[in-house]
Amino acid sequence: MSIEDEIILYTDGACSGNPGPGGWACILVHHTTETIRKLADGVENTTNNRMELMAVIKGLDSLKRPCRVRVVSDSQYVIRGMSEWVHQWIKNDWRRGPRKSQPVKNIDLWKTLVDLCNRHEVTFEHVPAHSGHSANEECDRMAVAATKALKNGKWKMEN
C-alpha cells in the first residue's frame, strides 16, 4: 500500500442520557496541506460509547484513498479497544469475559472500525477530555450541538 497522505483525525462523541439522543463529530486535518474537514451528525437512541466509535468510523470512512491516519480521541474505550482489546476479541470470536461467554458490546461498530483500519495505516492517541486541547474541545462542541439539536428536533446534517 502506497501511502502519500497523512491525516490527523480528531474525534468525540456525546450522549444525553445513556441511552438517549447522541452526537458524534470529527475533524480531519491533512498534514501537508492543512486542509480541514469537519463532520458531525446525531443519532436518536444511542449510547456514548457508540458515538465515540461512530466518530472514528465516519472520519475514516470519509477518506477516498488509503492514508496514514493518527486518530486523536479522549475516549479510553476507543483507544484501549483498538490498541489493547480488539486482537483478543477477534481471537475469541468476538467474545469477552472470564469464560469468553459474553459477546463484545457494540460488535457491529468494532468490526466496521477494524475493517476501516485495515484500509489505512492507523495509530491511536489519547488526549485527556476537557484539557484545553483545541481540536478535541471543538469536536466536543460539535457532538454536543448535534445531540442538542436532535433532541430539540432541529438537527439537519449539512455537508
End-to-end CA distance of the chain: 29
d(CA 13, CA 81): 15
State how beta strands 36-46 and 20-30 pair. Answer: antiparallel
Catalytic residue numbers, as ranges: 12-13, 52, 74, 130, 140
Q: What is the DSSP string of 9-40?
A: EEEEEEESSSSEEEEEEEEEEETTT--EEEEE
